[in-house]
Amino acid sequence: MKKIYCIFFLLIIAFSCKKEDQIESEIAKVEVDFLVERFDRAFAEATPKDLNQLKETFPFLFSKHVPDSVFIARMTDTLQNELLDQVDKKFNNFSDIENDITRLFQHLKYYDVTFSEPRVVTLTNDVKYRDKVIVTDTIVLIPLDNYLGEDHEYYMNIPKYITQNMKPSQIVSNLASEYAKRYTFQSQKKTLLDDMIYFGKQLYFKDKMTPFMSDEEKIGYTTSQLEFAKANEAQIWTNFIENEYLYSTDSSLPGRFIADAPFSKFYLQLDRESPGRLGQYIGWQIVRAYMNNNDITFLEMMKKDAVEIFNKSNYKPPK
C-alpha cells in the first residue's frame, strides 16, 4: 500500500512539473516592449546647455520648485561625479538585469492582461537605500547607487543586515516586491497572522512572477539564513503557537518577527543566530501550503483574508 501511495505522489509531482513547464513555455512567448533608459549616464555626460533637453525627456525627475542652478551645480559637484562614476563602472553592462526585467514583465503580462509595460529609468538617488525602487503605473525608477555591492565603501555606515541586499541581484527582486504590493489585499492589520500572510502573499507572488530567482533572492536571505529558517521551521512554529502569537495584537510582535532586522527576537539564546523577518518566512510557507491544498488561482488567493488562508492551508512544518 505504501508503494502505491509513493507512486501516486510521484505522479502528481511529475504532472505538476509538466504543467508548470508548459506555462513557462507560454510565458516565454509573451511580447513586451520597453527600454531601460539610463538617466544616470545622460546626466553624467550632460553640460548645463543640455539641461533643457534632459528636462523635456525626463520631466518627472525635475521638480518645478527647484531652480535650474541646483541641477547645474550637481553636474559639477565632485561627490556626485564620483557617485555616477562608481555606478557606471558597476553597471557598465546592464543586459542581464534587463533580461530579468523582461522576464518579470512577461509574467506580469501573462497573469494580468491589463498590465502595460512602464518606462524603466535608472538614476542615482544619493544612496537613499530605503527607496530601493519606485513603481507607478507608467514609470519604474531604479536608483543604481543602492546596488553597488554589499561591501562598497559608500555603505560603511549602513547596518550589515541592510547592505547584504544592496547588490545587483536584488534589483529585480525589489522590483517584484513593489509590484506584489499592488496586487496584495489585506482586510485588516491587527494581528501577527495578518502581517505574516500579507508578506507571505507577496513572497508567493515572487514564486509566480520570478521563478527564475532563488528563494534566497526572493526573500533577501543569505544561503545560511535560509538554511536556518528551513532547519528551524518546526521550532519557530511551535514557539508561535505556544506563546499564542498568531492572533495577538501585541504591537511589539511585528518588530520582532516581521520588520527588517539583524535577527528575529524570540528572547532566546539562539536569537543572534537567526535572520530577521522569520514571521514573513513562515507566512510564505503557509501561503504555499494553501496553494498546494486548494484549487484556486494565485491572483484570487491574493485577495483572500489571512484567517481563511491559514485555516484552509493545512500548514504543517516539516519535522
Place of cell 491589463: 114
Q: How far apart are CA 231 and CA 147, in angstroms?
A: 30
Q: How far apart are CA 2 and CA 108, in angstroms?
A: 41
Rg (CA), the chain: 22
Mean pLDDT of the chain: 93
CB distance 135 to 175 below 8 Å:
yes
Closest CA to 175 of 149, 152, 197, 144: 144
pLDDT at 173 over 70: yes
Q: How far apart are CA 234 and CA 149, in angstroms?
A: 33
Q: Computed from CA positions of residues 147, 149, 153, 157, in that sequence, does the dihedral angle turn out positive or negative?
A: positive
What are 266-299's pLDDT values in tens digits? 999 889 999 999 999 999 999 999 999 999 999 9
Three-class SS state of 142: strand
**Residues 6+ away with beta carbon under 8 Å from 143:** 122, 123, 124, 125, 128, 131, 132, 133
Q: How far apart are CA 312 and CA 309, in angstroms?
A: 5
Average pLDDT over residues 52-59: 96
Q: What is the pLDDT of residue 14?
A: 52
Closest CA to 124 of 187, 74, 185, 174: 74
Place of cell 553624467: 44
CB distance 113 to 131 below 8 Å:
no
* Domain range list for the chain: 36-163, 184-311
Q: What is the pLDDT of residue 3?
A: 58
What are 235-250's pLDDT values in tens digits? 999 999 999 999 999 9
pLDDT at 17 over 70: no
Q: What is the pLDDT of residue 21?
A: 78
Kind plus residue range of the DSSP H or E element containing 134: strand 134-135
Q: Is 84 exposed, middle or buried (0-12, 13-18, 19+ CB in 10 A)?
A: buried
Beta bridge partners of 167: none
CA 294 from chain centre, in angstroms, equals: 25
Distance between the two ends of the chain, CA-based, in angstroms? Answer: 23
**Residues 6+ away with beta carbon under 8 Å from 150:** 160, 163, 164, 165, 166, 167
Q: What is the pLDDT of residue 101?
A: 98
Question: What is the CA angle 309-204-170, rounded to 5?
Answer: 150
CB distance 38 to 225 below 8 Å:
no
What are 246-265's pLDDT values in tens digits? 999 999 999 999 999 999 99
CB distance 90 to 111 below 8 Å:
no
Average pLDDT over residues 200-215: 98
**Residues 6+ away with beta carbon under 8 Å from 173:** 206, 210, 213, 217, 218, 220
CB distance 201 to 288 below 8 Å:
no
Q: From residue 198, give the alpha-carbon distance in Å to each of 5, 18, 191, 301.
A: 34, 29, 11, 11
Total residue length of the chain: 319
Q: Is 281 exposed, middle or buried (0-12, 13-18, 19+ CB in 10 A)?
A: buried
Closest CA to 306 of 202, 230, 232, 208: 202
